[in-house]
Structure 1
């Protein structure tokens, strides 16, 4: 038997053995497609990914009746094309305005869409930005500004004016390192900077009921402040970080102590924290629901407790900032 026939025979055997399981290849194929997109030396035209995806789906539909290796290959390639197309469309859907050069000290106006308290000072993300030193066509959609010195009581949804300097997000510090510019691009942040002096709160329209990012930011800040008020000192800062994800509240000396002890990973909201929150709610809800026999005999208590645990995990993930590790932990849970 030639190598070609042996390979075709093995592939057909694998396809027959895994018939009905091909949807499990979806996350793997999409991951390969997304990785392939970011390895492209040049930006492909926006419809290249969807065009290939449509072709692979058509091929899979035509080969579905025959099944076998050809159908399996078409499905895997369709999953890869789906990941490639998703990454391409996501890139082209963003605003993409990154600051080209550092600005001089200038006036910056905008609405606070996210407020992050620090151990000393705070940091805000502004949208609907106007910068005196930039024309509107080249002004980034969002900017992130570190507020220094004494500031008025600010919250997400406030319209502010401040003096400061802006620069482009920094490139990777080393080859293959974390790409701050790419991260800023996909989070919609086109410039970063710092303020000089106190910000001034302006009159502006209040956030609407569907501005969920603004309302969630205010809720997280209020919860963090309640925790630090109830538990003063470094313990309160660590507790607030574990609940709301604001590690910026922890003093630098305490963060260094965590790093030196090899425990810094405990401050990142991930599988351990999501699992604990979901587990506590699950076992607690199951015990409470079982205390009422008529309910426990008529309804599936275990499934109801699992649903409540899932909702609790989702709420905790949002409250902790819904970072990538948190999202991954929630999906696994």
Structure 2
């Protein structure tokens, strides 16, 4: 009689049920974001709620299933929101449309003193001629002014022609769509006639005072104007004082993104704070709290740009995961 010592049942290879549930919840979140067109603020609120549930599941086992589904749906919502940002608005239908625009300048890209023309990025409300008005739209605007020089923070109003960003015809052409997608720009606008510039409202507050103090400190530390301007742009996100030659030099070298505060800058600040607070290694929660607080202080002082906010939200989540 032959006795088989080892018997390994042959089972067909298949994905576990949890993997299918994860993929289904991600797809559900993606569909919800596509149908309801979530904004970034709503998604961040949902992500915070999902994060709180996940933290609670560390102590309460009853919440672990809920945390699994909540985090999976939040991942799908995040993917859907990002795709909605990259897709052109369907209400324009790919054509130019006359609209009234009222907003504020976020960044001045170029200025031509001879023709009084400029190009800037604005966060504005638009009232198109044939569709419903839209608010909080990032626009790449080209236009002319009569006397004043456009600066970041100025209110700008005027009649424009809006359209969606265009894709290149040839492989070597400049991709307007890719440029706009990288900066979360939804529309491209061309002003009809000179636009009106209004001074920004006077801002008061502790953060504004600190931001101005840091600008003055930068001017004191750097004797050359060019060095002070670069330091303000790279650390505080202030690019208004940069000259045209400096902008063109960075653009030609492919390093123009260094002049704006992004998640990379937030990561550098977070790393420096973690290294400085290394002696507090035995107190993980205290060290993590100091790092998160210092990182968010930098996010606010640098102007709270969208990329820095995303990095500021991701860093506490990663820090909390490491602390647990």
Normalising by the residue count of structure 2, what TM-score does the alignment of the two structures yield? 0.51
For 1:229-248, what per-residue CA distance to the aligned partner results, in whole angstroms no more than 9, with x for missing partners?
66554433322221134668
1:4 aligns with 2:46: no
User: How far off is 1:310 after superposition?
Assistant: 1.4
Pick from 107, 112, 133: which aligns with 1:116?
107
1:235 aligns with 2:224: no
Task: Return closer, same or farther for 1:271/1:168 CA change in 2, 3 Å cut-off.
Answer: closer
For 1:144-173, what per-residue CA distance to the aligned partner results, in whole angstroms no more than 9, with x for missing partners?
124545535666473x43244322222477
Q: Is the 8 A contact 2:107 2:239 kept in 1?
A: no
In the other structure, the counterpart of 1:313 is: 295
Q: Is the 8 A contact 2:107 2:152 kept in 1?
A: no
In the other structure, the counterpart of 2:92 is: 99
User: How far off is 1:193 after superposition?
Assistant: 1.4
CA distance in 2, matches of 1:229, 1:196: 39
In the other structure, the counterpart of 1:128 is: 125
Task: Return closer, same or farther for 1:95/1:77 CA change in 2, 3 Å cut-off.
Answer: same
Return 5+ residue gaps in structure 2 as ranges: 1-7, 37-60, 112-117, 320-324
Q: Is the 8 A contact 2:299 2:309 kept in 1?
A: yes
Q: Is the 8 A contact 2:29 2:77 kept in 1?
A: no
Q: Is the 8 A contact 1:110 1:127 kept in 2?
A: yes
Q: Is the 8 A contact 2:34 2:84 kept in 1?
A: no
Task: Return closer, same or farther for 1:269/1:197 CA change in 2, 3 Å cut-off.
Answer: same
In the other structure, the counterpart of 1:254 is: 249
In the other structure, the counterpart of 1:52 is: none
Q: Is the 8 A contact 2:232 2:238 kept in 1?
A: yes
Task: Return closer, same or farther for 1:173/1:81 CA change in 2, 3 Å cut-off.
Answer: farther
In the other structure, the counterpart of 2:269 is: 277
Q: Is the 8 A contact 2:161 2:190 kept in 1?
A: yes
Q: Is the 8 A contact 1:108 1:163 kept in 2?
A: yes
Equivalent residues in 2 for 1:54-203 (5 A)? Answer: 80=72, 83-84=75-76, 98-100=91-93, 101-103=95-97, 108-112=100-104, 114-118=105-109, 120=111, 121=118, 123-131=120-128, 134-137=129-132, 139-141=133-135, 142=137, 144=139, 145-148=141-144, 150-151=147-148, 156=153, 158=155, 160-171=156-167, 180=177, 190-195=186-191, 198-201=194-197
For 1:61-101, what per-residue CA distance to the aligned partner results, in whole angstroms no more than 9, with x for missing partners?
xxxx9xxxxx99x9978865554456558989999564331
Query: Cα RMSD between the aligned structures?
Result: 6.0
For 1:272-305, what per-residue CA distance to the aligned partner results, in whole angstroms no more than 9, with x for missing partners?
5334423544566789xx9xxxxxxxxx877545
CA distance in 1, matches of 2:70, 2:263: 31
Task: Return closer, same or farther for 1:222/1:314 CA change in 2, 3 Å cut-off.
Answer: same
CA distance in 2, matches of 1:208, 1:31: 47
In the other structure, the counterpart of 1:33 is: 26
User: How far off is 1:140 after superposition?
Assistant: 4.0
SS of residue in 2 equivalent to 1:162: strand
The number of aligned residues is: 260
Return 5+ residue gaps in structure 1 as ranges: 16-21, 47-64, 66-70, 210-214, 291-299
Greater share of residues in helix = 1
User: How far off is 1:118 after superposition?
Assistant: 3.4
